[in-house]
Amino acid sequence: MLYTCSPHCTDPTHAHGATNAPRRRASALSAPRAASASTPARGQRNPVVDVHCHYLNPDVVKASADLDVGAHDPSVIYANELTRQTNVAQMRDRAPKLTGIDQRLEDMDRMGIDIQAVSPAPFHYFYFAPPERGAKLARQVNEGIAALVAATPERFVGLGSVPLQNAELAIQELDHAVGTLGLRGIEINTNVNGRNLTDASLGLEPFFARADQLGAVLFLHPVGYSDGARLTNHYFNNVIGNPLDTTVAVSHLIFDGVVARYPNIKFIAAHGGGYVAHYWARMDHAWRARPDCRTVIDRAPSSYLKTFYVDTMVFDPEMLRHLVDTFGADRVLMGTDYPYDMGEEHPRELIAQVKDLSADEVARIEGLNAVKLLNITPVR
């Protein structure tokens, strides 16, 4: 995704934008539709759910203005001047999409989406802040998402945030977000201040244990590659870095045994799951060939990989076909990365172009999988 301004920007007119021009011919799947969730057309078919979309709370931006967020954000640190200029220019256009409801609903109808599972703007993790401050900001983020959902509950469900720099506070906020606010899961970064999620120094084992008890959904979403010095040009810290950091995170969660120990956690890996879906056989070979790859897990890594959910954010029908073949249609969820310019403007058309998908598989990918995973009750 694109961070089209330094995250510490406090200008309320700034936002991110999904500005990519359509590259596939328009079809009836992306035709505009009426806004009401109770229209007969919506009620007579399976729901269409976007599991990968974001909301920026202007109040949180103001509350964190003193923290110099950009100094801790790889997407800002590892960006050249042209990228920064492009980001700022795009920010001017998209505040209504990222921070409000009206334009969002119009775009959802244009894209044929009934329900968004809205997650925070990823640079609102605040893992770098002192733990109590991070917890306070996570609470504000979550209450903002809950308010967005409450304003239009027939069109939105929410995913929240937790302060992963402190396991105890993260557990408290997980319980509040899911149990009190009714959010359907938690968006987490693919690292914590450059450390792997499984790094023992973070002490996150109790957090994963609590998430397992709750059967929680954890949406893995990167903010660029945490060590992106070689990815500064060409927007590579997003283009390459985002799926790379997800790949590293997923691999550690598997090889370090988190997935095996906590099978009730429902992990969603953004951007098609990174690169592991396309190169898992190398992990399996290493596990068979080398004792240092078998220190924790007792089964092939791919057997754990296939318990993950992935979104459709791969931009190409053949690549999406490969995701379905690797994970199964039950594990693939439609996503758009709305409203960023690295998002997918025509998600249903992309799915429709995948070869040899049955009508049932299309329905599951477009929404039925998300309905089951996130416990969504569509308005009929």
pLDDT tens for each residue of 54-87: 999 999 999 999 999 989 999 889 999 999 888 8
pLDDT tens for each residue of 338-367: 999 999 999 999 999 999 999 999 999 999
What's the whole-model pTM score? 0.89
pLDDT bracket for residue 45 (50, 70, 90): confident
**Polymer length in residues for the chain:** 380
Domains with residue ranges and CATH for the chain: 46-373 (3.20.20.140)
CB 158 within 8 A of CB 118: yes
CA 173 to each of CA 141, 161, 180, 298, 362: distance values in angstroms, whole numbers, following the listed order: 11, 8, 10, 33, 35
pLDDT tens for each residue of 231-279: 999 999 999 999 999 999 999 999 999 999 999 999 999 999 999 999 9
Cis link prior to 153 (omega < 30° from 0)? no
pLDDT tens for each residue of 212-224: 999 999 999 999 9
* CA 267 – CA 250 distance, rounded (Å): 9
Q: Which residue intervals of the chain are DSSP H helices?
A: 40-43, 58-63, 74-77, 81-91, 95-99, 102-111, 131-151, 167-175, 205-214, 236-239, 241-255, 258-261, 270-273, 276-289, 301-305, 317-327, 347-352, 359-363, 369-373
By the 10 Å C-beta count (0-12 exposed, 13-18 middle, 19+ buried), 337 is classed as buried
Mean pLDDT, rounded, for 122-147: 97
CB 177 within 8 A of CB 219: no
- Picking from 196, 241, 192, 195, the residue whose alpha carbon sits closest to that of residue 77 is 241
Please give the DSSP secondary-structure letter assigned to residue 233: G
* CA 321 – CA 10 distance, rounded (Å): 41
